[in-house]
Amino acid sequence: MDKTAIEQLSEPQQKILSFINQYMEQNDIPPTIREIQHGAGISSTSMVSYHLKALERAQLLNRRERRSRGLIVNEPRRAHSRDIVAIPIVGVITCGAEPVPTPDPDTLAESENVIHLARSLVGNADGLYALEAKGDSMIDALINDGDIVIMQRNADVKNGDLAAVFLLDRNESTLKRVYKEGRRLKLKPENPTLKPFYVEARHAQIQGRVVCVIRRT
């Protein structure tokens, strides 16, 4: 499945595509619109149709009109259940001008809220967790308010990487582009109206690196 195409999908479209693949793996026939609505947790059949048209435009599937089970997934090898990973959504990360408190990612083991993604999108799922972005400081990095950010714990963060940083002296976390400058960290927003700020490296802990972003809209 084409990684670039998947990265452009919204979360409902990701869920629909994953559900279709799982359903076809288990039943050898495509699901109906109503089965997709219930299985992917979509609010209405009209919204299912709306997202299916988006998947058609992305050339990820075709639809045979006037047929109840008229979906054709444009993939020579359908995704098996082992190709779908469940990533826990553990809380909120601020993309605002100032950091705010956020749950510790250690709570991921207890999280009941998950997002299902194609393994081809994230690779090895070990150490992955998800956060809901809040604020507009990262809009130029295509991270908008309400998007889901997939994080890799204990990742090697290089200068310029997007990362979640926990500020020990404030007990707060923030999502910014990180630069190491001697004993300081430069935390740079991706919004032309906001300026970078600096923190002492000994007062900061990098919690994870951004792997990908799932758009909610």
* pLDDT tens digits, one per residue of 84-109: 777 888 778 877 655 555 455 455 44
Query: HEC states along 105-125?
Result: HHHHHHCCCEEEEEHHHHCCC
Token code pair at residue 57? 């435009």
Predicted confidence (pLDDT) at residue 76 exceeds the cutoff of 50 = no
Check if 18 is active-site: no
Of 15, 137, 173, 188, catalytic: 137
Q: What does the pLDDT look like over 114-150, one tens digit per residue?
A: 777 777 677 777 788 888 888 888 888 888 888 888 8
pLDDT band, very low/low/confident/very high, at 79 (cuts 50, 70, 90): very low
What's the rounded mean pLDDT across residues 62-66?
63
Q: What residue spans in the chain does CATH classification 1.10.10.10 cover?
A: 3-79
pLDDT band, very low/low/confident/very high, at 15 (cuts 50, 70, 90): confident
Of 18, 173, 176, 188, catalytic: 176
Predicted confidence (pLDDT) at residue 53 exceeds the cutoff of 70 = yes
Share of the chain above pLDDT 70, in %: 75
- What is the DSSP code string of the chain? --HHHHHT-BHHHHHHHHHHHHHHHHHSSPPPHHHHHHHHT-S-HHHHHHHHHHHHHTTSEEE-TT-TT-EEES-SSPPPGGGEEEEEEEEEEE-SSS-B----GGGGGG---EEEEEHHHHS--TTEEEEEEESSTTGGGT--TT-EEEEEET--PPTT-EEEEEETTTTEEEEEEEEEETTEEEEE-S-TTS--EEEEGGGEEEEEEEEEEEB--
More confident residue, 29 or 96: 29
Q: What residue spans in the chain does CATH classification 2.10.109.10 cover?
A: 82-214
Predicted confidence (pLDDT) at residue 75 exceeds the cutoff of 60 = no
How confident is the model at residue 216, as a pLDDT? Answer: 67
More confident residue, 20 or 120: 20
What's the rounded mean pLDDT across residues 200-216?
85
3-79 topology per CATH: Arc Repressor Mutant, subunit A (1.10.10)
Check if 3 is active-site: no
Q: Is the model's pTM score more than 0.75?
A: no
How confident is the model at residue 10, as a pLDDT? Answer: 82
Give CATH for domain 82-214.
2.10.109.10
Predicted confidence (pLDDT) at residue 66 exceeds the cutoff of 70 = no
Cα 140 to the center of its chain, rounded Å: 17
What's the rounded mean pLDDT across residues 201-209?
88
